[in-house]
Each structure stands twice: as structure tokens, then as C-alpha cells.
Amino acid sequence: MPEYAALGERLRKRLDNRSAVISIIGLGYVGLPLAENFALGGFRVVGFDIDSAKVEQLNAGRSYIGHIASERIGELVRTGKFHATTDPQAFRDVDVIIICVPTPLTETREPDLSCITNTAETIARHLCRGQMVVLESTTYPGTTEDVLRPILEKSGLLAGRDFFLAFSPEREDPGNKTYSARNIPKVVGGLDSASRDLAALLYAPVVSGVVKVSSTRVAEACKILENTYRAINIALVNELKVVFSSMGIDVWEVIDAARTKPFGYQAFYPGPGLGGHCIPIDPFYLTWIARKYGRSTRFIELAGEINTAMPHYVVDRVADALNDHSKAVRGSKITILGMAYKKDVDDPRESPGFEIMDFLLRKGAQVEYNDPHIPRLPRMRNYPHLQMDSQELTPAYLQSRDCVLIVTDHSAYDWKHIVEHSQLVVDTRNATRQVRRNNVVLA
């Protein structure tokens, strides 16, 4: 197809000389770092989000994500390298559209692709010949070709003839000081070789390496494998934590001993439950699509059962610890430390802290929280009733609480201060290992 080849050559030249304009849809924990990365790499970036408050904040040079400095956003806005909009008409004036929207689960643990399909419907109304669309949202193998492509082709344009289509899984890890979007290799798969090669050319200037794979399905499966691997290994150590605890064995000491082996072992650590937008969700995308092919994923489903049971286990451990102090959960004053899903970030998505808080409240406890990165709990889809402010951890406040429950081990916490002034500490992260006293219970 000579015309298709000519469209590819035009886009290749614009990517080569950085004159291509990149639009990124969804300016959250994945999209905003990516937008910053492309802008710093010399491209002009148009960010799109349906949240007008976010758009106004970004255009004023203010970041709402902790690890992205407002100063950097402000500089990119001032130099014209980045601006945000809620107007989908802007898609007509760009060369590449990258989709970074959420892919949650329904209440029955089935894929919820509504954000992808709604976004695709919007793009289709403005799609132009010669553009490239790249999906980054984590999803099951086949989504790009079987779900996204047909919606985009409602535009009257055909993928592989009029526009290019690719998938490249996001690999963002908020709070990771070693690896960021810039130095994590990018996997890319295309609808065809032209789409794949153009996607590789798109990312090559702004990441440390590009890994080309044979199809969008392989690229989609790659991300599912990465997170399923982590979910299963975390489930293993969570199960061992429960077993070893009943045997009077410290699971963290066991892991520290095992990790001295220089081969054949990688350390994973137990916790109060899985959090974040990837690991608690992505494996269930694979189990769902496997059923469509008449296959079962018993190993993955068992890991899911173990991990989703951990908040219940933590609440039971809190109840046991209070009971040992001749107190009931009902009426006890409990403070949760850390509502972010992982240490040193301000991201509460899928944090087990919300489920634990909800369980404790339903058991009659008086629950508050502290998180230096989350001054007020955001309205969460499954927990809209959990609205409160972070409490200051003064000695008097800690002493007044019947139990302090460590859910997220932020570096900002002074564990010695917390242990010294608390009546009872239940530690799900081994955060108090250097300052542990008789008032500390591991969970």
C-alpha cells in the first residue's frame, strides 16, 4: 500500500526531528510522568483529561503528584512544551495519541474497559489519517485489536491502512528513586510491522531502551505476566507469614536469611494486602480471558484468594493483640499509619488501608489515621464514607490510642518515637525491627 507507506514515512520524519506533537490521554500517575518525559525529550505534548480541575492546575504550573515537581511542570508550560486540555478537538492537531486511562475491575472481578471504550469513542470522532494511536493501559491480550481497533475504525479510517495502532505497557513505579519512566525499557507491539517500528521510534528518544515484540497481544501479555509474577510470589510469602506466625517464627528473619543465597531466590515481602492499580487487578484480567478460551488459572486464582484475605488477617491480629491487653475491638481507639498503597508515595489506589479501616469501623472501633503524604482521605469508589483528616502523631495523641496499626512504612515515620509513646503497636511491615519492644506485635 503505497499511501500507507507514505503516511508512515511522514510520521517517521516528524518523530525523527521531534516536530511530532504527542497527545497523552489520562494525566494520572502514568500519564503525567509520561507527558513530562516526552516534553523533556524535545516533543511538544498536549495532555488530555476529563477532570477540568486537574487541567487548570497543570496549566497553572502546579503538580498534584508528589514525585513530580511543580517547578518542572511550570517550566514545561512556560516554554510551550506542555499544555493540558479537556477539549477533544485537540486530537486533530497531533501526530500521536497515547491512551493512559484506568482499567479497574467490576465488583464481580471482571475487566472494566469502560474508560478505554469511552476514550476510543471520543478519539474516533476526531481521528485523522496518518496518526498513530498507542494504548498503554494494562489489559488482557487481545484488547488492542479486538476492542480498541473496531471502535477507532468507526471513524471510517482503517488501522493498517489509514492510521497506525500499537500497544506499549506502562511500567511506572511511583516512588521508586532508582527507576523512572526514562530509564525503564519500553516493550512495544504493533498491529503490523509499520506500527511497531513507528512506536519504537516514538519511545526510543525518551527511554533507555525499546524491546520490539511480534504483536500487540504479546506486549499485552508481557505486562500481565510481570504483575502476575509479583502477585503470586507476594501471595506465597503472605501465606508463609500466617503459617510461620502460628509456629512462632519471624517470617522477615527467614526471608533475610534466604536472600543471602546468591542464586535461585528473589526476596518478596509480606504485607497487609495488595495495593496500587496493577498487582491487585491485572492477574484477574488474565483469569477472565483464560475462561473465554476454556482454560482455568488455578494458581493465579489461589494467589488472589490469599492476597485478598490479608486485610481480614490483619484485623484478626489487631483483635488478638487488643484481647491480650484485656480490650475489645469495639470501642477501642485505633490509628492506622499509612493509607498510601506503598511507602513514600501519595497514591491511595487499591490501598489495603481502606479495607482494614472499614472492617475495624464495622466492628465498632474508633478509627483515625496518619499519613504524611495524604493529609485528607480522597473519596474512594468503594469507600466513599471514609472521609477524615490525618492526625498529628504527638506523644499525647499516641498515648491516648489503644492501638497503632502500621499499614504503610513511610520513611518519614520516626519509629522510635512511635513505639516509645504508644500503648500497643501492630506492625504489618516489619517497620519496627530496629526499635521493637514488648508493646509491638507483628502481623
278 is catalytic: yes
Identify residue 52 by its one-letter amino acid code: S
Strand 425-427: give its sheet, edge to edge: 366-370, 333-337, 403-406, 425-427, 440-442
Closest CA to 184 of 197, 200, 195, 173: 173
Catalytic residue, from 100, 115, 222, 278: name it: 278
The residue behind cell 501526530 is: 95
The answer to whether the beta carbons of residues 372 and 412 sit under 8 Å apart is yes
| Strands of the 44-48 sheet, one edge to the other | 82-85, 44-48, 21-25, 96-99, 132-135, 164-167, 186-190, 210-212
Is residue 224 within 8 Å of residue 285, measured between CB atoms? yes
Question: Partners of 135 in the beta sheet?
Answer: 99, 167
Element (H, E) at 194: helix 193-203
Q: CA-to-CA distance for 309 and 313, rounded, in angstroms?
A: 6
* CA 319/CA 313 separation, integer angstroms: 10
Instruction: At 49, list the grid cell.
Output: 483529561
Phi, psi for 406 (deg, rounded to 5):
-85, 115
- Exposure string of 256-267, with b = 16+ CB inside 10 Å and e = fewer, is eeeeeeeeeeee
Cell of 68: 513530580
How far the first Cα of the chain sits from its last, in Å, is 63
Residue-wise DSSP of 19-56: --EEEEE--STTHHHHHHHHHHTT-EEEEE-S-HHHHH
Catalytic residues: 278
